[in-house]
Structure 1
Amino acid sequence: MRLPDMPLHDPFIVADKETRTYYLYTSNDRSVSGVAGTGTMVYRSHNLRDWMRPVVVFLAADQEGLWATDGGWAPEVHKWDGKYYLFTTLHNQNKPLPVPPPNQWGTPFPIGNYMRGTIIAVSESLLGPFTVIDPSRPTPPENLMTLDGTLYVDPSGQPYMVYAHEWLQTIDGTMEAIRLAPDLSGTVGDPTYLFKASDAFWVSEQIPSGVPHQLPPYVTDGPQLYRAPDGSLVMLWSTYEKNSANPDGTVGGYYVQTYAVSKSGNIKGPWSQRRPLVRNDSGHGMLFHTFDGQLMMVLHRPFNNARGKLYEMQLVGHELRVLRQRTDLDGGG
């Protein structure tokens, strides 16, 4: 299989040096995996061009007592203390959450607040099967509507989950971090606020003449942390660019891939926002290295009926640059 033929959303690649195999995790899709149900599947490749048909590594329905069986968004797999840990977002519309009180950005939406958050599952293998550590609740506080949790480990070895807090609760979506227990079995303390979506100064910058400025929601999606050579901390994340001109000439809010920098190197920031890396309804990207050392970014485009796109990247200090799209691998477009 090649990327243009592979349905995938929120791609995450693990480059396993021992087997010189790239593992590309995404939400389960029965049309290619042959298995029904909410979960995670993985494609495998030795060259980033030719991929094996995916296999399912996690199914929500197989987890006894799991609090949710819908979603399966944004799966990531991280090696930690000799095992592999799957992070993926589930939700349960039958478990409504109280509407939060008004905040500095306004009054949260009275509908659509229900239990959503990232779970952590563990396996001895990159191919699973993965078993949820705590089936009773998501890892972030269960009263928060969150998604897209990722693993970050600070220089002292302390693990964190960094996640997006939904705009449905906050109006202006936020990025937050919470400390994890050493075995990733739970959290320690309260969440730490990192930044909000509207901090991206360019979000409403390109407003065509005669078109009124759209109000929030301001969305935060898809965090991934990367340590720059100068010690700074880089966070890839995605949002919607308000009132931008879309590729088809219409006006709307297309998905974009952007990033932020914490020059202090501390997860708490302060975080400064950068301009988008890739537009054209692209996003939820992550960085990885090829086996020959090239820094790469994978993302999906378009948001609906998504396919994977690959880019060669460069870090100059803590500034990310797109060198070129690898159209020879991803089919272009």
Structure 2
Amino acid sequence: MLSLSQIQLRDPFVLKQESEGCYYLYGSTDPDIWKAKGIGFDAYRSRDLTLWEGPFPAFRPDSDFWSDKNYWAPEVHEYKGKYYMFATFKADGVCRGTQILVADGPLGPFRPHSDGPVTPRDWECLDGTLWIDAEGTPWIVFCHEWVQIKNGTVCALRLSPELDRAVGEPILLFSAQDAEWVDSVKNGAGYVTDGPYAYGCDNGELLLLWSSFRQGRYAQGIARSKSGDILGPWVQEPAPIFENDGGHGMIFRTFEGKIMLALHAPNNTPDERPVFIELSEANGRLSVREG
């Protein structure tokens, strides 16, 4: 059994399984996700969020898999009786993008479901997440990366009911510079958008977590939909909810009903670790719970 401090992992995502009474933890688990050849994604399992079994090999590419590097940010969503992994991949000469994988159980093995990335093939994209709207329509929310367009954006794209392809054209939700707290990276080279995750509040408001950089440190921001719909318009909170060199967060509820923010910190490899922070929610507003 492992503690969180023993698990090197970026971009944490927690799946709560009511039927099993346990949690599954996913993330970017390769020791070097930046330059080394991609290995795959590991998963961990826990009943108390403190001690974790694993790692379990949730995804390993077949020999003919199109991507060989940048295996990033896997999320696993239960949908219509199966488990779907949204994950980012790249290869030389091929744009980074989010592909959808599928498995019969939360530990996999996950296999390609979509035919390559569902994000636009000529865009550098990353960090796709699933959102099901009030009409039951599935969407992928993802980032159009700053390395291609300088001012990174967050976009939404309809998916087929089978989650195997995109439907229509991507829709711009907002850009990094829409948030007053965001600073540029690499001496003005660009403005980052990372890790979107949609969260529906108890009062019906819709929030979108996303990450960027503030004063040189990774930070976790929040945007708010004025319409309550994934298409917004989106208004940025004036300050991050977490700015101590951590981010790429998501929110889950414990079996006891606590609201938890999962993110990684610090942001440097190989020191990154999954971190859970209890939140309070009041009238559609999130804050770090004191005490």
Of residues 264, 274, 277, the one that matches 2:227 is 264
Partner of 2:125: 146
2:265 and 2:274 in contact (8 A); partners too: yes
Partner of 2:283: 317
Of residues 268, 277, 285, the one that matches 2:241 is 277
Instruction: Give the residue type in structure 2 aligned to 1:316.
Output: A
- Structure 1 residue 37 displacement after superposition: 4.8
Per the normalisation by structure 2, the TM-score is 0.92
Give deviations 1:284-305, integer Å, cap 9, x for gaps.
1110000011111111001112
Partner of 2:201: 228
Structure 2: distance between partners of 1:185 and 1:204: 36
Partner of 1:218: 191
Structure 1: distance between partners of 2:21 and 2:255: 7
Instruction: Give the residue type in structure 2 aligned to 1:269.
Output: G
Give deviations 1:104-154, integer Å, cap 9, x for gaps.
xxxxxxxxxxx100110001100101110134x311111111000000110
Partner of 2:78: 79
Structure 2 residue ranges without an equivalent (≥5): none
Structure 2: distance between partners of 1:216 and 1:320: 31
Pairing 1:118–2:91 present: no
1:8 and 1:306 in contact (8 A); partners too: yes
User: Which SS does the other structure have where 2:173 is aligned?
Assistant: strand
Give deviations 1:245-265, integer Å, cap 9, x for gaps.
xxxxxxxx1100111100311
Partner of 1:202: 181
Partner of 1:47: 48
- Structure 1 residue 310 displacement after superposition: 1.0
Per the normalisation by structure 1, the TM-score is 0.81
- Structure 1 residue 229 displacement after superposition: 1.8
Number of aligned residues = 282
Give deviations 1:28-72, integer Å, cap 9, x for gaps.
3479xxxx9521111111101111121111012x2x643212111
- Structure 1 residue 214 displacement after superposition: 4.9
Partner of 1:100: none
Structure 1: distance between partners of 2:101 and 2:66: 14
Partner of 1:255: 218
Structure 2: distance between partners of 1:87 and 1:168: 21
Partner of 1:172: 151
Partner of 2:135: 156
Structure 2: distance between partners of 1:46 and 1:119: 29
User: Which SS does the other structure have where 2:54 is aligned?
Assistant: strand
Partner of 1:250: none
1:30 and 1:37 in contact (8 A); partners too: no
Give deviations 1:178-237, integer Å, cap 9, x for gaps.
0000000101000000000011112249xxxxxxx9534100000000111222210011
Instruction: Give the residue type in structure 2 aligned to 1:222.
Output: G
Question: Once superposed, which parts of structure 1, at least 4 consecutive aligned residues long, lie more than 3 Å away?
Answer: 28-31
Partner of 1:68: 67
2:30 and 2:71 in contact (8 A); partners too: no
Aligned Cα root-mean-square deviation (Å): 1.9
User: Which SS does the other structure have where 1:11 is aligned?
Assistant: strand
Partner of 1:330: none
Identity %: 43
Instruction: Give the residue type in structure 1 aligned to 2:76.
Output: V
Partner of 2:91: 92
User: Which SS does the other structure have where 1:10 is aligned?
Assistant: strand
2:23 and 2:49 in contact (8 A); partners too: yes
Structure 1 residue ranges without an equivalent (≥5): 96-114, 206-212, 245-252, 326-333
- Structure 1 residue 324 displacement after superposition: 4.1
2:38 and 2:70 in contact (8 A); partners too: no
Instruction: Give the residue type in structure 2 aligned to 1:314.
Output: S
2:128 and 2:196 in contact (8 A); partners too: yes
